[in-house]
Structure 1
Amino acid sequence: MDSQTQTAETLLARLVGFDSVVGRPNAPIIGFVQNWLAGHGVRAHVLQGPEGDRANLFATIGPADRPGYVLSGHLDVVPATEPGWQGDPFTLRPDGERLIGRGACDMKGFVAAMLAMVPELAAMDLGAPIHLALSYDEEAGCRGVPHLLAALPDLCARPLGAIIGEPSNLTPVLAHKGKAAIRLTARGVPGHSSRPDLGANAIHALVPALAAAVAQASALETGPQDARFAPPFSSLQVGTVAGGQALNIIPDTACAEIETRAIAGVDPLSLLEPVRAVARAAGIELHELSHYPALALDPDHPLAALAQDLAGRAPLGAVSFGTEAGLYQQAGIPAVICGPGDIGRAHKPEEYLTRGELAETCAMIGRLGTRACA
C-alpha cells in the first residue's frame, strides 16, 4: 500500500469516527478538516449556514484568481440505526479489503482521498487551482451547498468544472434526476369517534391531496421520456403518511410527505403543482422540504472528456439518484459525478469501501493535479 492510500485509510477512520448525521451540528468534523488543511499550509474558509450550528468548508490549492476545478463532497451521513450492523457503525472496521463504516462509501471515502492528496497537490506548481468543497445536510435534500455556492464569487474565479465524488464506481456520470419534496399537514378537531358530527377528521381532509398525488404519479408515466434514466420518466410518490392516536379518537392532525424525481429539463417542483393546488383549496398546510435540479452535462463538454481521462472509464449517460451536481450546474459551474464505491452499498448496514477503490481515487486526484500543472 502506497503512502497516500495509507494516509487516506487513516483519514477515513477519523472521518467515520465523527457521528456527523444529517441535521445535526457538524463543528467537530469541520474543525478536524480545517486543522488538517492548516497543517499542510492550506487555508480553509468555514462558511456558517443559516442554522447557526452547521457549516460548509471551502479551500483552494493554487492560484484562486484563475479558473480551476472543484472536488466536492458532503460530510453528513444518514443515521445508522439499522439492525444489520456487525459492529459500531462509527468505528471504521477493516474486513479483508473492505473498510466498513457509516459513510465509508457515501461519501467520506472520497473526502478522505481528497485530504490525503493535499500534501502532494500543495507541492505541485499548479497553473489552475484545485478547490476542495465540503458541504453539510446533503442527505436532507442538498440544503447546505447552496450557501457555499453563493459565497464562491468572493472566494475564487469561476471554476472550469466540479467533480462530485458520489459513489459511481469511479465512472463519470453526466446526468441525474432532479428532486423536490413537500410535507402536507391537515388539521382537524378531536373527539370521540362515536360523535363524528362534533369533530373534524384530519385524515379524511388529507385524502383529496393524496388522491391527486396518486393520479399525478400515474400521469407522469406517460409524460415526457428520457431513455437515459431508469425509469425513463419523471416520478412521484407518497413516502410517508402519519396521523391519529387511536381507532376511537377523531384524528386532529395528519401529515404526508411527497417527493418527485424529474428527468433533465423538467422542474421537479412543478410536478407537485396538481397536489399543491388541491391542498391549497382544502386548507392543507404546505411545507417545502427540499428542491434541487437535475444534472445534464453535454457529452461533448470538455469536463466530460477530462473526467474520462482522469478515471480511465467512458462516461455513463445518467443515473436516477440525485446529487449536488445539479446545483453546481445551476450556479454556472459544469459538473460531473465521479467517485468511489457503489451507490447500492449506501444507506445500508455494513456500508463499505474497498482499499483498492480508495487507492484508485487518490490516483485519479493525483492525475487531476498533474493536468492542472499543464
Structure 2
Amino acid sequence: MKSPIPTTETMLARLVGFDSVSGRPNAPIIGFVQDWLAGQGLRAHVLPGPEGDRANLFVTIGPADRPGYVLSGHLDVVPATEPGWQGDPFTLRSDGARLIGRGACDMKGFVAAMLAMAPELAAMDLRAPVHLALSYDEELGCRGVRHLLSALPELCAPPAGAIIGEPSNLTPVLAHKGKAAVRLVARGVPGHSSRPDLGANAIHALVPALAAAVAQARALEAGPQDDRFAPPFSSLQVGTVAGGQALNIIPDAATAEIEARAIAGVEPLTLLDPVRAAAGSAGVEVQDLAHYPALALDPGHPLAALARDLSGRATLGAVSYGTEAGLFQQAGIPAVICGPGDIDRAHKPEEYLTRDELAETCAMIRRLGEHACA
C-alpha cells in the first residue's frame, strides 16, 4: 500500500523542518526523502559523499535506459542566524500567500514540487525518464553534486538535459558566471611591537597577495566583456581579512578570503593566478575553498526551447549568481536554470515562496511529464 500523497505545501513544511545547514550531516532529510519515495514504489539511490556523513540522492521515474530529463535541487540551506526572523526559521509559517521558512525559496520549494509530483509522474506512460537529483553542500561551492554526476553513468542513460530549479521566477536562464575562491593563510612570529626585528608580521605577509588581488580586479574591468551579465566582465574581490590580537603585538597569524567570478568562456581558477603567485613569493599558504564553472547554453539548443514551453516564459540570457548547472554542462548534460521564487529573497530573514509559485512549479513538472510521454 502506497503512502498518502501530501500536498506540495505539506511537503515543503516537512523539508523546511529539517535543519539541513550546509556542512553538516544530512542523513535525516535524505532518509525522509528516500522513505517517502519508497512508499510510492520508487527506488532512490543514496550516494554517500567522501565526507562519510552526508549524501546525494537520485531516483529515476520511467525507463532508465533511455535519454531523459533531470530535475535537480539541493537540500542544504545557509544558516538562519539573522535577527530579522519573526519566528522559527525551520518551521514553515504562512502570511497570506507567503510560505516563510529557511530554504523555502532557495531551494526546498522546487524540491517539494519535485517530490509531490513524483507519484503523478510515476503514473504516466513515460517514454523518456524523468530523474530527480538531490545534492548536498551546494551552498559551500557545489561540493556534493560532483559526486552525484560521477555516479550517473552507472545509474542511467546520458540525460538529454537538466533543469536546475534555483529561484529564477520560473524564467529559463541560459548562462551564469563561474566562481573560484581561496583562503590565504599567513603565519608569523609573535612579539612586542617595539621589537619588529625579533618577530615576523603575518599581516604584512598578506600584503603582496592583497595588492595583486586589487590590481587584478581593476584589470578585469577592462578585460573580456559579455553584455549578458551585470557587470559585463569577470570580477575579483577580497571578501574577508582577519588577524592580529592587539595593536602592540606582532600578529603571528592572518587570513584573507578572495573570490573570482568569471563570465562564460573564462576559467575561474585562472583569474586567481596573480594572487597565487604573489602569495607564493611571500610564503603564504593558498587553500582552495570553492570552484565551479560558468554555464552557457546555446539559445538555439532544444533544451532552451523546451524550458520556454514548459515554463511559459521567454528565456533570460544570463544571471551573475552561480549554480550547479555549470557542472552538469561540464559533465556533458545540457542544463538550464528554471525554478520558483526570486533570488533576492534567498539568504535573508523571512525567506518565502508563494502558494501560486508552488502551483506553477507543479504545473511545469506536469508538462515535462507529458512531454516525456510523447
**TM-score, scaled to structure 1:** 0.98
2:260 is paired with a residue whose SS is strand
CA distance in 1, matches of 2:16, 2:41: 24
Deviations 1:188-231 (A, max 9, x none): 00111121111100001101100000000000000000000000
CA distance in 1, matches of 2:303, 2:265: 20
- Aligned residue for 2:366? 366
- Which amino acid counterpart does residue 372 of structure 1 have in structure 2? A
- Aligned residue for 1:284? 284
Matching of residue 195 in structure 1 with residue 195 in structure 2: yes
- Which amino acid counterpart does residue 77 of structure 1 have in structure 2? V
CA distance in 2, matches of 1:157, 1:58: 13
2:166 is paired with a residue whose SS is coil
How many percent identity over aligned positions? 86
Deviations 1:241-261 (A, max 9, x none): 110111111110100000000
- Aligned residue for 2:113? 113
Q: What are the equivalent positions in structure 2 for 1:318-329 lying under 5 Å apart?
A: 318-329=318-329
- Which amino acid counterpart does residue 333 of structure 1 have in structure 2? I
CA distance in 1, matches of 2:6, 2:100: 16
Q: What are the equivalent positions in structure 2 for 1:1-374 lying under 5 Å apart?
A: 7-374=7-374
- Which amino acid counterpart does residue 145 of structure 1 have in structure 2? V
Deviations 1:167-208 (A, max 9, x none): 000000000000000000011001111211111000011011
1:338 is paired with a residue whose SS is strand
- Which amino acid counterpart does residue 161 of structure 2 have in structure 1? G
CA distance in 2, matches of 1:298, 1:67: 20
CA distance in 1, matches of 2:281, 2:184: 13
CA distance in 2, matches of 1:194, 1:353: 57
Deviation, 1:21, is 0.3
CA distance in 2, matches of 1:192, 1:34: 58
Could you tell me whether the CA contact under 8 Å between 1:161 and 1:334 is conserved in 2? yes
- Which amino acid counterpart does residue 138 of structure 1 have in structure 2? E
Cα RMSD of the aligned pairs, angstroms, is 1.0
2:257 is paired with a residue whose SS is strand
Deviations 1:320-367 (A, max 9, x none): 000000000000000000000000000000000000000000000000
CA distance in 2, matches of 1:54, 1:193: 46
Deviations 1:40-81 (A, max 9, x none): 011000000000001000000000010000000000000000
CA distance in 2, matches of 1:5, 1:12: 13
Deviation, 1:5, is 11
**TM-score, scaled to structure 2:** 0.98
Q: Which runs of 5+ in 2 are unaligned?
A: none
CA distance in 2, matches of 1:246, 1:38: 58
2:246 is paired with a residue whose SS is coil
Could you tell me whether the CA contact under 8 Å between 1:245 and 1:251 is conserved in 2? yes
2:67 is paired with a residue whose SS is coil
1:67 is paired with a residue whose SS is coil
**Structure 1 runs (4+) greater than 2 angstroms displaced:** none
Deviations 1:291-321 (A, max 9, x none): 1000000000000000000000000000000
1:280 is paired with a residue whose SS is helix
- Which amino acid counterpart does residue 281 of structure 1 have in structure 2? S
Count of paired positions: 371
Deviations 1:99-122 (A, max 9, x none): 000000000000000000011001
CA distance in 2, matches of 1:289, 1:66: 37
